[in-house]
Amino acid sequence: MTRIALGSAVLRGTVATALIASLTSTSALGAPPVDLSKWSPEYVRSIAGTQDFDTAADCAKVTPLDYKGRLTFWYQGVFEGDPDLLRQYYKDFFETFRKTYPNIQLEEQALTYNDLLDKFRTALLGNAAPMAVRLQILGGTEFASKGYLQPLKPEDVGYSTEDFWPGAMKAVTWEGVTYGIPTNNETMAFIWNADIFKRAGLDPNKPPATWDDVVKYSKQIHDKLGIAGYGLVARKNAGNTPYRFMPQLWAYGGGVFDEATPNPTYEQVQLDSPQSKAALQASYDMYVRDKSVPVSALTNQQADNQPLFVAGQLGMMISHPSDYNVMLDLQKKATGTDKDKAQTVIDNMRYGLIPTGPDGKRAVVFGGSNIHILKPEYVEGGKVDEPAAKAIICMWTSPEWSLKMAYAGSNPGNLNGFKTKWMKERLDNIKFLDVTTSMLPYGIPFPALPQAPEIMNIIIPDMLQNALTGAMTVDQAADDAAKRVRELMGGL
C-alpha cells in the first residue's frame, strides 16, 4: 500500500494546533467544523472519532419523530460498479429512517446515475416528480435555474452552511439562492497494478507523475505484456467519461471554460485552446497511435474496466477507493485459478495521486450528490410534504449518514462526518482512503451552469469519440466541441 508522505514535524505541530483549534470550535459558534486550510490525511486522522452525534435527536428538532406524513423520494442509488458494502449501508439507511419516523410513509425509488437525469426530466414535464430527490452534483443548477426546486439550505434542516464544502455549496446555488444540500463529495485517485508495472519494466511503487508519463507507461505496458495500459473511458451519456477526462483536460491547462480558476466566470469557451487540444491528443495517442488502452473504451464505463483490472488485463485506471472493495467482491465470485489471479491483483493494487500536467498542475473532478425538495406544482398530486422531506434530508445529510452512505466510495458532504467514530472505523477498514482525501483540495467542480449536463455527458464524449474513431482530427474534434458549447450557451 502506498501512503502519502507524512510531512515534517513542523507540519505535525501545525496540524495539532489546528486540530485543537478545530475541536474547541463548534458549529454553534459559527466556525467551520473542519479547518480546510489544514487539510491533509494526517489532519483527517486526527479529527476522526472525536465527536459523537445523535442523529435522531438532531432531526427531531427539524421534524418531530412522531410526525405523520407521506414522502415520495428518488435517489441516485448503487449500481453494478459499487461494492456490496455500500448496498448494505443503503439498505440500513432506509430501515433506520422507517424506524426513526414510523409514521412517515416513504415511497423511495433508486435510479442509476446514467438513468436518473432523463427520468427526472421526463417526470417534471408531466408534473409527476417525487417530492424530494437526490441528484448527481451536475444536476443541481439545471433544475434550480428552471424553477423546479424549492430554496433549501443546510440551516433549514438544522445544519450550518459552513458544515459543507464551499465547492459543493456552489453546485447547489443559482443566482445567489441555495436550492439543495450536498450529501457526499468525492475526488478519485490513480490506481495501478504494481505487478504489471514490474513485469513491464517500470518501478512498481512509482505511479506516473504526469499525464505524458501515463501515455508512456501505457505504451510500455502494452508493448511488453500485450495488455491494456490505461483504462480510458469514452462512453457517451455516462458520468464516468467526464470524471476521467476532465482531470486530464485541466491538468494540461485546458477546460470547457475557466472552471479550473479560483473565480470562474464561464464566459470564454476554452475547449479549442492549445492546452485542451494537447489533452485530447494524449487520449488520441493512447487509443489510436499506441493502441495501448482497451479497444472497447468507446462503449465502456468504469464498471467494464473493473473486471479487466481484476483479471490482470489492465495496468492503470482512475477510480474511487471503493474499487478496492469491488475487487474483493469480484474475487469472491471468481472460481479455480481465477481466484488466485484476482488475489495477486488485489495484493498488488496501489493508489496514488492523479498525475499532473506538463506544468505541474494537478486536478480532479470535485464530484458528489445533492438532495433537493421540489415545488408542489411539479409533484404528482400537487402537494409536497415538507416536514417529511426535511426529515429524510436531515438524516441523509447528518454527520452519521452522510459518512455511512459514502463509506467506501467518497466522502461525507457534512464535514462533521469526518469527526465521527465511523470515520475512524472507516480509516482502519478502507484501504487507500488517505489518497482520495489528499485529492480533495485539488477538486474542481463542474461548471455550475444549467447546460453542464449536456456539456459533460454529450459534448465532451462526442469530442473524444470523434477524435478517437478518426471521424475528425484532434483539432477538428476540439473545434467542433467548442462550437457546440458556444451554440448551447447562446441558447441554440
Partner 1 sequence: MTIVTGKAEARRRVQPGRSGALRRIWQHRADYAYVLPAIAVMLIVIAYPIYYTVELSFFKTPPGLQLRDKTFIGLDNYTTILTSQVFWKVTWNTLIWTLGSTFISFVLGFATALALHRDFIGRGVLRAVLIIPWVISAVAASYIWKWIYHSDFGIIGAVLVGLGLADQPPNFIDNVSTVLPSLIVVNIWREFPFAMIMMMAGLQTVPDQLLRAAKVDGANAWQRFWHVTFPHLRNVSVVTMLLLAVANFNSFIIPWIMTGGGPSNASHIWITHIYELAFGRQRWGVASAYSVLLFLTLMTLGYFYVRALSGNERKEGSA
Rounded CA separation 109/91 (Å): 12
Is 70 a residue that touches partner 1 (CB under 8 A)?
A: no
Is 282 a residue that touches partner 1 (CB under 8 A)?
A: no
Write down the least CB distance from residue 147 to partner 1, Å: 6
Rounded CA separation 385/215 (Å): 53
Write down the least CB distance from residue 277 to partner 1, Å: 18
Q: Which span (48-56, 114-122, 166-174, 421-429) binds partner 1, by CB under 8 A?
A: 114-122
Write down the least CB distance from residue 120 to partner 1, Å: 10
Contacting residue, 43, 73, 75, 148, with partner 1 by CB under 8 A:
148
Write down the least CB distance from residue 293 to partner 1, Å: 10
Contacting residue, 1, 20, 21, 471, with partner 1 by CB under 8 A:
471
Binding residues for partner 1 restricted to 236-265, rule: CB under 8 A: 236-237
Count of residues near partner 1 by CB under 8 A: 40
C-alpha to C-alpha distances, 185 to 203, 355, 422, 477, nearest whole angstrom: 32, 20, 17, 31
Are residues 83 and 405 in contact, defined by beta-carbon separation less than 8 angstroms?
no
Rounded CA separation 188/76 (Å): 18
Are residues 337 and 329 in contact, defined by beta-carbon separation less than 8 angstroms?
no
**DSSP code per residue over 197-234:** HHHTTS-TT---SBHHHHHHHHHHHHHHHSSEEE----
DSSP state of 458: I
What is the Cα 421 distance to its own chain's centre? 23
Nearer to partner 1 by Cβ, of 15 and 234: the residue is 234
Is 473 a residue that touches partner 1 (CB under 8 A)?
A: no
Contacting residue, 59, 297, 349, 440, with partner 1 by CB under 8 A:
297
What is the three-state SS of 142-190? HHHHCCCECCECHHHHCCCHHHECHHHHHCCEECCEEECEEEEEECCEE
Q: Which span (208-216, 247-255, 275-283, 446-454) binds partner 1, by CB under 8 A?
A: 446-454
Contacts for 462-466 with beta carbons within 8 Å, 24 or more apart?
462/236, 463/271, 463/280, 464/234, 464/241, 464/245, 464/280, 464/283, 465/234, 465/236, 465/298
Binding residues for partner 1 restricted to 450-469, rule: CB under 8 A: 450-451, 454, 457-458, 461-462, 465-466, 468-469
Contacting residue, 100, 299, 344, 348, with partner 1 by CB under 8 A:
299
Nearer to partner 1 by Cβ, of 107 and 377: the residue is 377
Contacting residue, 12, 70, 87, 121, with partner 1 by CB under 8 A:
121
Q: Which span (28-36, 103-111, 230-238, 322-330) binds partner 1, by CB under 8 A?
A: 230-238
Is 272 a residue that touches partner 1 (CB under 8 A)?
A: no
Write down the least CB distance from residue 45 to partner 1, Å: 39
Write down the least CB distance from residue 391 to partner 1, Å: 29
Rounded CA separation 188/322 (Å): 10
Contacting residue, 161, 313, 348, 476, with partner 1 by CB under 8 A:
313
Rounded CA separation 179/126 (Å): 21
Are residues 415 and 164 in contact, defined by beta-carbon separation less than 8 angstroms?
yes
C-alpha to C-alpha distances, 208 to 225, 304, 354, nearest whole angstrom: 18, 23, 9
**Which residues in this chain contact partner 1 in the complex, by CB under 8 A?**
118, 121-122, 125, 145-148, 228, 234-237, 294-299, 307-308, 311, 313, 450-451, 454, 457-458, 461-462, 465-466, 468-472, 488, 491-492
